[in-house]
Amino acid sequence: MAHDYDLVIIGMGSGGLTAAKFAASLNLRVAAIERDRVGGDCLWTGCVPSKALLASAKVAQRMRTADSYGLTAVDPEIDRNAVWERIRRIQHEIAAAEDNAEHYEQLGVEVVLGTAQLAGPHSVRVGSRTLDTKFVLLCTGSRPAVPPIEGLEATGYLTSENIFELEDVPSSFVVIGGGPIAVELAQGLNRLGADVQVLQAPPRILAREEPELSDTLTGVLELEGVRIALGARAERISRDGSSKVVTGTADGSATEWRAEELNIATGRTPTTLPSSTSSASSTTRDGSPPMIDVAPVFARSTQPVMSRETSSSRIGPDMKVRSLCATCFSQARRSTQMSFRGARLPTRSLHVSV
C-alpha cells in the first residue's frame, strides 16, 4: 500500500532533528512535527544553556584562583542577568544557523507545526490534518519530574524548563535534587555569586556514579561554597515575604531552608502522547484519556504503537543513560537506517553539531 510519506517524525529535538536530516539524505518523503520550538531540550532548556552557564562560571572561578597559575587573583564583578542574556544570544545564534524549520525544509523535510496525535498504525493527526505514513518515529523526549511536595505548586518553583528564561536572576537558590542537572546548576550559580543550597535525599550526590567520584565532587563543591544537605527530605514549601521556605528533615532532624528561589531537579519523566484511536469511553482510572509512553517506542507498521522495544531502538531519554544527546543522535540514525534497509546510504557521513 502506498503512503503519502515514508516517515513522519514527532518531535524536533536532538533525536528528531538527527532522524530528519538522515532520512532526507536517503531521499525519503519525510515530515517532522513540532508543537513548540525546533531544537527541543538540547537547545532551549538543556545542553546549550547549561553549558553556556558553566562556561561563564568557569571563567569567574579562574579569575578567583588565578594565583594558582602564577597570576594575580581577582574577585570578578558578576552580573548574572548579563550571563543569562549571553545564554539566550547563543541559543538564538544556533537556532538561526541550523535548528530552524526553514533549514530542514531546504533539506527536503516538510515541517509541520502543531500538536500530534496518533490516529492509527499509519496515521498522525495534527489539528485538522491527517498525515498518512509508512513509519512513525516518536522523538518526544522528556520533561522534569516534579515531586508531590505540599505547597510546591502554590508557592511556585523553577525547573530546567524555565530557569533560563529568567529576566532577573535571584541571588539565592535552594536546589532540590542531587543528580547531574542539579549539581551542574548548583556549581554554576554558586561560581556566579549566588548562595546555593542543595537538598539530596540519598546519602550522597550523583548517586549513580562511583562513590569516590561523588565524595570528591562533594568536597570541591563545599570548598567553593555550595551547601549540601544529604539525607534531606522536603516535606512542605511555603513563602515568607520574599523568601521561599522548604521545611523538612535532614538526617532525621527537623530543618528549614530559605532562598529567593526554588529549583526542582529530581529527575526526568518521559513525555507522553494522547492517542486519538482510543474510544471516548476508554480512560485511565483517574478519568484522563489513555496515554502512550512515547520515549522508548519506535512504532512501525508491523508492530503495535504501544509496544515497548529493546533499548537499542529507543528514541528519547533512557533514564539510565548519562549522555542523552549523544544517545539520541545514534539511536535516531540507527532506527531510521533499520527501517529503510533497502535505501541507498549517502556517501558522506552525517555530521551533527551540538
Angle at 216 between CA 235 and CA 45, to 5 degrees: 55
Co-location of 192 and 121 in the same domain? no
**pLDDT at residue 296, rounded to an integer:** 33
> Is 117 among the domain residues?
yes
> Is 183 among the domain residues?
yes
Choice among 139-148, 305-314, 337-346 with the minimum mean pLDDT: 305-314
Co-location of 261 and 161 in the same domain? yes
pLDDT in tens, 42-87: 999 999 999 999 999 999 999 999 999 999 999 999 999 999 999 9
**pLDDT at residue 285, rounded to an integer:** 36
Q: Which domain holds residue 198?
A: 152-266
Q: State the average pLDDT over residues 318-337.
A: 54
Co-location of 33 and 124 in the same domain? yes
Co-location of 162 and 286 in the same domain? no
- Answer whether 204's CB lies under 8 Å from 182's CB: no
- Answer whether 353's CB lies under 8 Å from 160's CB: no
- Does pLDDT of 349 surpass 60? no
Contacts of 218 (CB under 8 A, 6+ apart): 204, 205, 228
Co-location of 229 and 278 in the same domain? no
pLDDT in tens, 9-51: 999 999 999 999 999 999 999 999 999 999 999 999 999 999 9
> Is 348 among the domain residues?
no
Co-location of 275 and 193 in the same domain? no
Co-location of 304 and 335 in the same domain? yes
The four Cα atoms 63, 205, 209, 328 give a dihedral, to 10 degrees, of: -80
Co-location of 103 and 27 in the same domain? yes
Number of other CB atoms surrounding residue 297 within 10 Å: 25
Distance CA 40, CA 15 (A): 9
- Does pLDDT of 339 surpass 60? yes
Cross-strand partners of 299: 136
> Is 59 among the domain residues?
no
- Answer whether 182's CB lies under 8 Å from 198's CB: yes
Where a domain ends, among 216, 242, 266?
266
What is the C-alpha R_g of the chain? 23
Where a domain ends, among 242, 266, 290?
266
305: left (phi over 0), alpha (psi -120 to 50) or beta: alpha
Q: State the pLDDT confidence band at 327, using cuts at 50, 70 and 90.
A: low
Residue 103's CATH number: 3.50.50.60
Distance CA 165, CA 253 (A): 36
Distance CA 64, CA 193 (A): 11
Co-location of 168 and 314 in the same domain? no
* DSSP category for residue 312: G
> Is 86 among the domain residues?
no
Where a domain ends, among 266, 281, 310?
266
Residue pointed to by grid coordinates 536532538? 14
Task: Please count the structural domains in the chain.
Answer: 2
pLDDT in tens, 260-317: 999 999 999 998 776 654 433 333 334 433 333 333 333 333 332 322 232 223 344 3
pLDDT in tens, 76-113: 999 999 999 999 999 999 999 999 999 999 999 999 99
Co-location of 9 and 136 in the same domain? yes
Q: Which residues of 185-197 are buried (b: 16+ CB within 10 A; e: fewer)?
A: bbbbbbbbbbbbb
- Answer whether 126's CB lies under 8 Å from 276's CB: no
> Is 70 among the domain residues?
no
Predicted model pTM? 0.81
DSSP codes of every residue in 287-310? SPPPEEE-TT-EEETTS-TT----
- Answer whether 180's CB lies under 8 Å from 268's CB: no
The answer to whether the Cα torsion of 298, 303, 305, 308 is positive or negative is: negative
pLDDT in tens, 271-286: 877 665 443 333 333 4
> Is 254 among the domain residues?
yes
Co-location of 237 and 278 in the same domain? no
Q: State the pLDDT confidence band at 1, using cuts at 50, 70 and 90.
A: confident
Co-location of 139 and 273 in the same domain? yes
Distance CA 245, CA 314 (A): 40
- Answer whether 247's CB lies under 8 Å from 262's CB: no
> Is 93 among the domain residues?
no
Q: Which amino acid, residue 4?
A: D
Distance CA 63, CA 65 (A): 6
